[in-house]
């Protein structure tokens, strides 16, 4: 075994510090535990994070693969890189947009920066995005529109000081166990309260003092009703609103009739009143995919921000706090040149574009004029044959995206390069597979959901045949745009220094953070414009907060044109796919405790084609109402896009008329629709209309695997 090496857990975005020991003669890590010296978790660690780090169950990729005669066969790195470069060069010769690049919130900051620099500054493509758009884009847009900049204002230090914890469309007891422990500890005080808004009685909801259950897809209607009640009941902090916000009167004028909005959400007016009353205290509002993954995700997230602004719940111990799923979703946004240039430099700002072009040493004309249509619409462009090559890095769109059959068909028809550590549904379609180093084998940094940057370190060298992401990106760049990086073998520390220098003076200033500083402090929260300081509660310039106020007499500074936070005036527009007589039930998705993201580290079947029926949770009343649709514990769930065979688990925690499937599962996503929020491009993964029917037992496929008669089965 190797010596103990400090690192950061890559499972979710809490950002827990770990200590790890690597095997010397085997794949992976021997032992992982929480790091008591780390400022984020102080030794706490969830068992899921430990298990997925030390003992992943997926099939490791150990050497490059290339498709010949329909099969993936081992090849050399020279052949793999040569083939990738040849196909990319051919595509770029036709158009700068001939290549699509899809990154991930599982990349380090350095890998995300390098990939974005290559995609935008090397290729010049606008068809570049990351899977963070599938989970956090709506929250990002809401923060940008409301505050003028991205990221939650609160930090973990605010959790113990909150009197009310409202968790909306999230299940942190499963998704973020360490953070949830802090929330639960705070809410256990006699004068504190835990409120959960979720259609399903999740593990988190089971602990709540109050559980509010809206109909899926109606969160915006409920949030506006709560806001209207808060205004009507005199809960508005008039002084805060008058001095630090704008658009309040227009927002009030846009609010719905409370009883009508409550009825739309399927919630009683009494519940609306109870929710509103919760904001008459120091309140933290946490939300997750149940809010974001909607055609109205941005509007709902903005309404939660509006609730905080109207009631004066902005400041230490209170405020809006979106819960991030992937370990480095925020780092991807800050570093990767995805929808903004490094440091949240506006993508379409001429001066910032000139700065990027100059620092990268590329022609300004090469930088794309648009940040692109987003992950979902890039797949649509692939399906229309408008893109010749697609390169996926640490992402599994076949399992994680809506309308999975459409995604699979689009990727199958293009030249697909898949860069990953484990076999996946997407790898199975690839023409070239580039095996990448995984946790414990890579060097770099990540950012957690409270803006802390911390190191990711290697406890062992990658196995023979496997390379770090930055080395693969560097090898491709060296052959296509040899002057883009200083060397073929990219050094993570040098990449971070280059990145942090680009963020100097921006709203996400990392210039005071270095590997040397991180080796001493382990984690530093941005903005960090100098070598000793770090960010506190965002936009607050009193009591040790950020110090960039436009008005020296104001404790608040928002990077908007007016220097004030902005209210919204959006309204509920209905769900994109209502139920009807043909499809009378609603499908929703949620986290399972044993699977994270698309499950390539934990799903033993990921990409191997040997699936068994996944379990759908349904209320016993739903089962009783559709008895003819069940046979031997299975049923077929059908939407307007596909049909899948599933096993059924009776569960009274799921309300009647609702069917629950695991999120980012290929079975669920054959059914989901690709409608997306027009402001964030985030897909509507939480609601679609379905029906049930009996499995067809006439098929010769008696194993429950594969596809037959229009149905498919997955685990």
Phi, psi of 416 (to 5 degrees): -110, 125
Query: Would the pLDDT of 185 be above 80?
Result: yes
Mean of the pLDDT values across residues 38-50? 94
Q: What single-letter DSSP state applies at residue 556?
A: B
Alpha carbon distances (Å) from 625 to 193, 618, 628, 659: 37, 11, 9, 13
Q: What is the mean pLDDT of residues 32-37?
A: 96
Closest alpha carbon to 589 in 348, 401, 379, 378? 401
Please give the model's pTM, rounded to 2 decimal places. 0.94
* Choice between 594 and 360, residue whose per-residue pLDDT is larger: 360
Residue 702 has pLDDT above 50, yes or no: no
Q: How confident is the model over 512-530, as a mean pLDDT?
A: 97
Is 385 within 8 Å of 413 (Cβ atoms)?
A: yes
Kindly state the tokens that stand for 169.
Answer: 């469309």
Model confidence at 641: pLDDT above 50: yes
- Write down the pLDDT at residue 604: 57
Mean pLDDT check: name the lowest of 454-463, 584-593, 607-616: 607-616
User: Taking CA 120 as the corner, what is the angle to CA 109 and CA 669, rounded to the nearest 5 degrees?
Assistant: 70
For the stretch 89-116, pLDDT in tens is: 999 999 999 999 999 999 999 999 999 9
For residues 47 and 155, which has the higher predicted lDDT (pLDDT)?
A: 155
Please compute the mean of the pLDDT values over residues 322-347 and round it to a whole number.
96
**Block residue for tokens 């036709």:** 94
Phi, psi of 137 (to 5 degrees): -65, -35
Average predicted confidence (pLDDT) for the chain: 92
> DSSP letters of 182-230?
HHHHHHTSTT-EEEEE-SS--TTGGG-SEEE-PPTT-HHHHHHHHHHHH
Q: What percent of the chain has pLDDT over 70?
A: 94
Task: Judge contact between 429 and 408, C-beta under 8 A.
Answer: yes
- Closest-CA residue to 623 (of 655, 590, 650, 586): 650
Please report the pLDDT score of residue 618 as a whole number. Answer: 98
Domains defined along the chain, listed by start: 5-54 (2.20.25), 65-131+327-511 (3.40.50.740), 135-322 (3.40.228.10), 585-693 (2.40.40.20)
480-509 pLDDT, tens digit per residue, is: 999 999 887 899 999 999 999 999 999 999
At residue 55, the pLDDT reads 84
Distance CA 220, CA 352 (A): 35
| Cα 38 versus chain centre, distance | 24
- Classify the C-alpha dihedral 266-271-272-278 as positive or negative: negative
pLDDT at 549: 38
């Amino acid at each position: 075994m190797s010596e103990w090496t400090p690192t950061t857990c890559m499972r979710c975005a809490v950002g827990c510090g770990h200590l790890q020991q690597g095997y010397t003669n085997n794949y992976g890590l021997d032992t992982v535990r929480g790091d008591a010296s780390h400022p984020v978790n102080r030794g706490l660690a969830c068992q899921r994070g430990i298990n997925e780090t030390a003992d992943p169950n997926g099939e490791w990729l150990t050497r490059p693969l290339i498709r010949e005669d329909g099969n993936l066969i081992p090849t050399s790195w020279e052949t793999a890189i040569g083939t990738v470069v040849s196909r990319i060069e051919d595509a770029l010769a036709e158009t700068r947009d001939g290549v699509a690049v899809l990154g991930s919130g599982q990349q380090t900051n350095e890998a995300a920066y390098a990939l974005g620099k290559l995609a935008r500054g090397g290729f010049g493509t606008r068809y570049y995005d990351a899977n963070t758009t599938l989970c956090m884009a709506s929250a990002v847009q809401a923060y940008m529109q409301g505050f003028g900049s991205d990221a939650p204002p609160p930090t973990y230090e605010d959790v113990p000081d909150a009197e009310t914890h409202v968790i909306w469309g999230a299940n942190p007891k499963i998704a973020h166990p360490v953070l949830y422990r802090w929330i639960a500890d705070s809410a256990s005080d006699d004068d504190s309260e835990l409120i959960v808004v979720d259609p399903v009685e999740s593990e988190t909801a089971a602990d709540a003092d109050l559980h509010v259950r809206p109909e899926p897809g109606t969160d915006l209607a409920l949030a506006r009703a709560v806001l209207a009640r808060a205004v009507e009941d005199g809960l508005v902090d008039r002084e805060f609103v008058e001095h630090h916000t704008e658009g309040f009167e227009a927002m009030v004028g846009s609010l719905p009739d409370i009883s009508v909005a409550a009825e739309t959400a399927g919630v009683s007016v009494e519940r609306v009143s109870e929710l509103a009353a919760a904001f008459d205290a120091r309140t933290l509002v946490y939300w997750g995919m149940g809010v974001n993954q909607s055609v109205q995700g941005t509007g709902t997230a903005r309404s939660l921000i509006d609730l905080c602004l109207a009631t004066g719940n902005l400041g230490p111990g209170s405020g809006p706090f979106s819960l991030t799923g992937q370990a480095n979703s925020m780092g991807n946004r800050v570093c990767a040149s995805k929808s903004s240039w490094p440091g949240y430099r506006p993508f379409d700002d001429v001066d910032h574009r000139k700065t990027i072009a100059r620092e990268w040493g590329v022609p300004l004309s090469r930088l794309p004029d648009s940040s692109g249509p987003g992950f979902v619409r890039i797949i649509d462009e692939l399906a229309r044959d408008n893109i010749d090559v697609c390169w996926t890095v640490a992402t599994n769109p076949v399992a994680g995206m809506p309308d999975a059959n459409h995604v699979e068909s689009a990727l199958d028809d293009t030249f697909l390069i898949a860069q990953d550590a484990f076999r996946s549904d997407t790898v199975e379609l690839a023409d070239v597979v580039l095996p990448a180093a995984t946790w414990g084998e890579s060097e770099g940094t990540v950012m957690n959901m409270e803006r802390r940057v911390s190191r990711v370190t290697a406890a062992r060298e990658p196995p023979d045949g496997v390379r770090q992401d930055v080395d693969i990106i560097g090898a491709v760049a060296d052959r296509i745009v040899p002057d883009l990086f200083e060397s073929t073998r990219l050094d993570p520390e040098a990449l971070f220094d280059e990145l942090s220098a680009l963020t100097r003076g921006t709203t996400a200033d990392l210039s005071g953070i270095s590997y040397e500083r991180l080796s001493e402090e382990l984690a530093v929260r941005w903005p960090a414009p100098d070598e000793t300081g770090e960010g506190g509660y965002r936009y607050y310039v009193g009591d040790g907060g950020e110090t960039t106020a436009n008005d020296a007499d104001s404790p608040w500074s928002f990077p908007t044109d007016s220097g004030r936070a902005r209210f919204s005036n959006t309204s509920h527009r209905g769900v994109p796919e209502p139920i009807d007589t043909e499809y009378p039930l609603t499908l929703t998705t949620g986290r399972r405790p044993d699977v994270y993201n698309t499950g390539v580290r934990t799903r033993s079947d990921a990409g191997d084609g040997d699936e068994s029926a996944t379990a759908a949770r349904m209320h016993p009343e739903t089962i009783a109402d559709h008895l003819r649709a069940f046979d031997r514990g299975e049923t077929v769930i059908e939407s307007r896009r596909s049909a899948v065979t599933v096993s059924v688990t009776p569960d009274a925690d799921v309300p009647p008329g609702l069917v629950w499937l695991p999120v980012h599962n290929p079975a669920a996503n054959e059914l989901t629709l690709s409608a997306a929020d027009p402001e964030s491009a985030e897909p509507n993964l939480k609601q679609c209309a379905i029906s049930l029917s009996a499995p067809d037992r006439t098929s010769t496929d008696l194993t429950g695997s594969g596809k037959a008669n229009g149905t498919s089965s997955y685990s």
